[in-house]
Chain A
Amino acid sequence: MNVLELRKLFPILHQEINGHPLVYLDNAATSQKPESVISAVKAYYERNNANVHRGVHTLGSRATDAYEGAREKVARFLNASESNEIVFTRGTTTALNLVASSYARSVCGEGDEIVLTPMEHHSNLIPWQQVAKATGAVLKYIPLQADGTIAMADVERTITDRTKVVSVMQVSNVLGVINPVKEIAAVAHRHGAVMVVDGAQSAPHMKVDVRDLDCDFFAFSGHKMCGPTGIGALYARKSLLERMEPIEFGGEMIDHVDLYESTWKEAPWKFEGGTPIIAGAAGLAAAIDFLTEVGLDEIDRHESKLAAYAYDRLSEMEGITIYGPREGRVGLVTFNLADVHPHDVATVLDTEGIAVRAGHHCCQPLMRQLEVSATARASFYLYNTEDEVERLVSALQRTKEFFGHAIG
């Protein structure tokens, strides 16, 4: 994998921010897009745009092919058994809400359990809180170890025969840890619960095989993996999708409509009411082609190496706290500089053209557990380099000096 060659394919990277070459280290929030994705979206609008699933005309067929072709690509990308197990959504959030609102509400009752972890992103937390409120189910949390990892003994203790749903992120957007979702799924199944995997931070960075994980649901977003915003998908086991009721109603999703009663299409189309995100699907297909060509294993290796490098270089700085373990992490490092608030860190870095995220990262419960109100996070992708890590380190050094001087 030649990173410098790959960088050339991303137009946005080649610009100056505040007089410095852009160093984009906010990939866990959203990734940048290669030329091929941008042109796939453009080509769709310039050549093929029409509505899907009803065109007798040529453009209608092309649009349908683009959309359904993307579904097949997603299915292969996740190693699903068939493309009918893929529901297109707006992203991870809508995918998880679909599982919560449709599946979980129908199976959960008073006293049933939904099992999560305290590190979940708000989008894998609040939908379950709402299910609990509506059904009388209770939320239970697998506790975290001091280093932010999950111990299987705690998983065994938390999941019981009353558990209906277990939902865990495969990769933490704050701690960078990779959670043992395959092992957790096995425990969930032993107790008759379904396993939901929030793949927002894993699908972009590592090979995902839903059949190997043996999960029942897997949600991800296109925009974090070189695709456009506004498109993502839910993988769901076919037998579950068939049982689930739609939560949005209208055009596209119906079979027969009467004045008082209607019936739905089969899954996955019954979950896709309204004109779908066709251009987004075309862009996502191009993103999957791009990532497959580069190789997910290669990307994984590159990022892990970069994260370990960043972890070590940052560790050498005095007054820095890094959250999460050094080993077994993906390409992100979350940290705080003593006596400098992360917003101030991010502002100073921005004046040097370096984009990092500062805040709670949509993980307020985890922030409380870490006993901080906010953190700064540098998150990497396939186009980031060790030179960029060095620029981060030296800019952080200057941040420390600036604030040390200003408030010292």
Chain B
Amino acid sequence: MQLDDLYRRVIMDHYKNPRNRGTMEAESVTIQLNNPTCGDRISLQLQVEDGIVREARFTGEGCSISMSSASMMTEAVKGRTKEEALGMADKFSSLMKGDDVEFEEYEDLEALSGVNKFPARIKCATLAWNALRKGVES
């Protein structure tokens, strides 16, 4: 197990400079999810119009993996249709299972492929995507 497999530069960049962190005024749905086993929290705000995710913002507390994953997810789904967003969530689940997945939509996500080798951390990476699913399906 190599630490560099997990903590890639792209991940640390999203951790240090999170995209879409904060809240917005626009009419939106807010989803709050906890990871009860470790205390991670995310609050995800989605503005969906005409079936398209116009904006996404998040706040929360957690480790580098959960927070960088939230940053990447919000960046990846902005401007996508609900179906596209859910499709990416499915692809992200495959990535966590160790499948060879390419994200031509948003390549940064591929940096999280190393999480698969750290089973205890998969739930950190999927927290934001679970919130997205809930928000899009609500």
B residues 1-30 near A (Cβ < 8 Å) are 1-3, 6-7, 9, 12, 15-16
A359 interfacial by beta-carbon distance below 8 Å: yes
CB of A407 within 8 A of chain B? yes
B residues near A373, Cβ cutoff 8 Å: 39-41, 61-62
Contact indicator A406/B124 (Cβ below 8 Å): no
Question: What's the nearest-Cβ distance from chain A to residue B58, in Å?
Answer: 15
* Residues in A whose Cβ lies below 8 Å from that of B118: 347
Number of A-B residue pairs having CB atoms within 8 Å of each other in the complex: 51
Within the complex, which residue of A18, A347, A348 is in contact with B120, where a contact is CB–CB below 8 Å? A347
Interface residue? B63 (CB, 8 A): yes
Is B91 in the interface zone, CB < 8 Å from A? no
Partner of B3, one of A341, A358, A402: A402
- What residue in chain A is nearest B5 (Cβ atoms)? A351
Contacts of B120 in A (CB 8 A): 347
Q: Is the CB of B63 within 8 A of A359?
A: no
The reply to whether the CB of A364 lies closer than 8 angstroms to some CB of chain B is yes
Q: Are A407 and B3 neighbours in the complex by a CB distance under 8 Å?
A: no
Residues from chain B with a CB closer than 8 A to the CB of A364 are 39
- State whether A343 touches B61 (Cβ < 8 A): no
A343-B63, A347-B6, A374-B38 given as contacts; is B1 within 8 A of A18 (CB)? yes
> Whose C-beta in chain B lies nearest to the C-beta of A399?
B3
Expressed in whole angstroms, the Cα–Cα distance for A373 and B16 within the complex equals 18
Q: Are B63 and A348 in contact (CB under 8 A)?
A: no
- Contact at A367–B16, with CB atoms within 8 Å? no
Cα A217 to Cα B120 with chains together (Å): 37
Chain B 63-80 residues near chain A, CB threshold 8 A: 63-66
Q: Is the CB of B64 within 8 A of A367?
A: no
Closest residue of chain A to B17 (Cβ to Cβ) is A407
Q: Does B121 contact A (CB under 8 A)?
A: yes
With A344-B64, A347-B118, A347-B121 as given contacts, are A359 and B1 in contact (CB-CB < 8 Å)? no
- Tell me the residues in window 329-370 of chain A with beta carbons closer than 8 Å to chain B beta carbons: 341-344, 347-348, 351, 358-360, 364, 367
Residue B138, interface by CB 8 Å: no
Q: How far is the CA of A364 from the CA of B39 in the complex (A)?
A: 8
The one of A342, A359, A407 in contact with B15, judged by C-beta atoms closer than 8 angstroms, is A407
Contact A367 B12 (CB under 8 A): no
Q: Given the interface contacts A18-B1, A341-B63, does A406 sit within 8 Å of B38 by beta carbon?
A: no
Residue pair A402, B1 in contact (C-beta under 8 Å): no
Number of chain A residues close to chain B: CB under 8 A? 18
Known: A341-B64, A348-B3. A407 touches B39 (CB 8 A): no
Query: Which among B2, B16, B124 is the interface contact of A343 at CB below 8 angstroms?
Result: B124
Q: Taking A373-B39, A374-B39 as contacts, is the C-beta distance between A344 and B63 under 8 angstroms? A: yes
Closest residue of chain A to B11 (Cβ to Cβ) is A406
Which A residues are CB-close (under 8 A) to B39? 359-360, 364, 367, 373-374
Q: How far is the CA of A348 from the CA of B66 in the complex (A)?
A: 16
- For B107-128 the 0/1 string (1 means CB < 8 A from A) is 0000000000010110010000
* Cα distance A82–B40 in the bound complex, in angstroms: 46
Residues from chain A with Cβ under 8 Å of B3 in the complex? 347-348, 351, 402
A359 lies within 8 A of B38 (CB): yes
Is B1 in contact with A351, judged by CB distance below 8 angstroms?
yes
Which chain B residue lies CB-closest to A359?
B38
Q: In the complex, which residues of chain A have a beta carbon less than 8 angstroms from the beta carbon of B124?
A: 343
Residues of B within 8 A of A367 (CB): 39
A359 touches B37 (CB 8 A): yes
Q: CA separation between A163 and B87, bound complex, in Å? A: 56
CB distance from A344 to the nearest CB of B (A): 5
Q: In the complex, which residues of chain B have a beta carbon less than 8 angstroms from the beta carbon of A342? A: 63
CB distance from A23 to the nearest CB of B (A): 16
Nearest residue (CB) in B for A360 is: B39
Nearest-Cβ distance from residue A136 to partner chain B, whole angstroms: 28
The residue in A342, A347, A360 that gathers the most chain B C-beta atoms within 10 A of its C-beta is: A347
A93 to B97, CA, bound (A): 34
B111 to chain A, nearest CB (A): 13
Interface centre among B16, B63, B66, B124 (most CB of A within 10 A): B63
B7 near A402 with CB under 8 A, answer yes
Question: CB within 8 A of B38: which of A343, A348, A351, A407?
Answer: A343
Closest to B3 in A: A351
Which residue from chain B places its CB closest to the CB of A19 in the assembled complex?
B1
Please, how many angstroms separate the alpha-carbon atoms of A344 and B1 in the complex? 14
- Contact at B40–A407, with CB atoms within 8 Å? no
* Contact in complex: A343, B12 (CB < 8 Å): no
Whether A343 pairs with B37 at a CB distance below 8 angstroms is no
From residue A346, how far is it (CB to closest CB) to chain B in Å? 8
Q: How far is the CB of B57 from chain A (nearest CB, A)?
A: 19
Can you sample 5 A-B contacts with CB below 8 Å?
A: A341-B62, A344-B63, A406-B7, A406-B9, A407-B16
Contacts beyond the supplied A343-B63, A344-B7, A373-B39: 12 A-B pairs with Cβ under 8 Å? A18-B1, A343-B40, A343-B62, A344-B65, A347-B3, A347-B120, A348-B3, A374-B40, A402-B3, A406-B9, A407-B15, A407-B16
* 4 pairs of A and B residues whose beta carbons are closest in the complex: A343-B63, A341-B63, A360-B39, A406-B12
